[in-house]
Amino acid sequence: MINAPPTDDHVTVEAQVRDYGFSPAQQDEIWRRWREGQSFSLIGRALGAPMQHARRFLYQSGGVRLTSQTRSERHLSGSEREEISRGIAAGESAR
């Protein structure tokens, strides 16, 4: 059962992706080999890692590579928000 407010139409779910000890370069290699149709055994052997680690790494996302999330340029960064907050506290305009 999911605990979400009944009036909330937009529920955000953040997935934590485990790297299972693979470096970013190794992760790219896993995805490349997966797209080529290689088995988990071959992928694990090529990377010198247990086959289960490669399988779990891929299965955690359903076999679909997740894109990295980036903040829209239209949104303020933390440092920009802090600068505005300090200005308001000093009696300056929010603009």
Number of domains in the chain: 1
Q: What is the pLDDT of residue 1?
A: 46
Residue segments in the chain with a per-residue pLDDT below the cut of 50: 1, 4-14
Q: What is the pLDDT of residue 16?
A: 64
Q: Could you say which DSSP state residue 74 is in?
A: T
Neighbours of 55 (CB within 10 A): 16
- Dihedral of alpha carbons 31, 35, 38, 39, sign: positive
Q: With a threshold of 0.75, does the pTM exceed it?
A: no
Q: What is the pLDDT of residue 83?
A: 92
SS3 content of the chain, % helix, strand, coil (to 5): 45, 0, 55
Of the candidates 52, 68, 50, 56, which has an alpha carbon nearest to the alpha carbon of residue 18? 56
- Please indicate, yes or no, if residue 26 is contained in any of the structural domains: yes
- Please indicate, yes or no, if residue 36 is contained in any of the structural domains: yes
Q: What is the pLDDT of residue 72?
A: 83
- Please indicate, yes or no, if residue 19 is contained in any of the structural domains: yes
Question: Domain range holding 60?
Answer: 14-64
Describe the crossing of helices 40-47 and 51-59 by its angle, rounded to 10 degrees.
120
